[in-house]
Amino acid sequence: MSYLNPGLPQPAPARDGLDEAYWKAAQEGKLVLQRCKDCGAYQWGPEWTCHRCCSENLTFEEIPPYGRIYSYERVWHPVHPALSEQGPYIIVLVEIPDRDGARMVGNLLGDPQQEVQIGAPVRAVFEHHEAEQINYTLVQWEVDAS
């Protein structure tokens, strides 16, 4: 079951292949970040060079699927025609702990009216779409109550 209404554009790896490893890992239920092999820095989104040392020696590394809410937005106005009947929904900016301040964006699952607390722990949820034109997996987030 999809969190948002059907009809949204389907995500796909960039044509240059830069983020292909991220999408493949997500399909396998794994969360990855880009990491520099020279200085060890983590970064997101994927780039051809390291944000810290400008090295081109980058790889993707699996990380635990947990983070903390750094910021959020409750979206009330549709940003796409497929969302005209959907709202609100919550988008979160999740900071990944112990990964050089790397932050990822995703939807926060659950009640769209829920109270959202900055710093709340969240865990990644992998939403698989296999009946579409192409198979893909979205990384969503939910509050980690454990």
Give the integer Cα–Cα distance in Å for 137 and 131. 11
Number of structural domains in the chain: 1
Q: Which residues contact 62 (CB under 8 A, 6 or more apart)?
A: 25, 30, 31, 32
Average pLDDT over residues 67-90: 89
In a domain, 4, yes or no: no
Model confidence over 91-143: pLDDT tens digits?
A: 999 999 999 999 999 999 999 999 999 999 999 999 998 765 678 899 999 99
Give the torsion sign (CA, 104, 119, 31, 8): negative
In a domain, 7, yes or no: no
Q: Write down the pTM of the prediction.
A: 0.89
Model confidence over 35-68: pLDDT tens digits?
A: 999 999 999 999 999 999 999 999 999 999 999 9
Query: Which helix (H) or strand (E) element contains residue 20?
Result: helix 20-27
pLDDT the model gives residue 2: 67
In a domain, 125, yes or no: yes
In a domain, 29, yes or no: yes
Give the integer Cα–Cα distance in Å for 39 and 51. 10
User: What is the edge-to-edge ordering of all strands in the sheet holding 58-63?
Assistant: 42-43, 31-36, 58-63
pLDDT the model gives residue 13: 80
> Would you tell me how many other CB atoms lie within 10 Å of the CB of residue 34?
22
Q: What range does the domain containing 78 cover? A: 20-143
